Amino acid sequence: MTVDLQTEFQTYCARLPEMLTKHDGQFVVIRGADPVHYARTYEGALDWAYQKFGLERFFVKKVTEDLAAAHFTRDLG
> pLDDT (tens digit, 9 = 90+) per residue, 1-56?
345 678 998 999 999 999 999 999 999 999 989 999 999 999 999 999 999 999 88
* Vertex 55 angle, CA 66 and 3, to 5°: 55
Beta strands in the chain (DSSP E): 27-31, 34-39, 58-62, 71-74
> Which domain range does residue 24 map to?
6-74
In a domain, 41, yes or no: yes
Structural domain count of the chain? 1
In a domain, 1, yes or no: no
pTM summary value: 0.81
Q: What is the pLDDT of residue 1?
A: 35
**Nearest 10 degrees: Cα torsion 48, 46, 30, 51:** -30
> Judging by DSSP bridges, how do beta strands 58-62 and 34-39 pair with one another?
unpaired
In a domain, 28, yes or no: yes
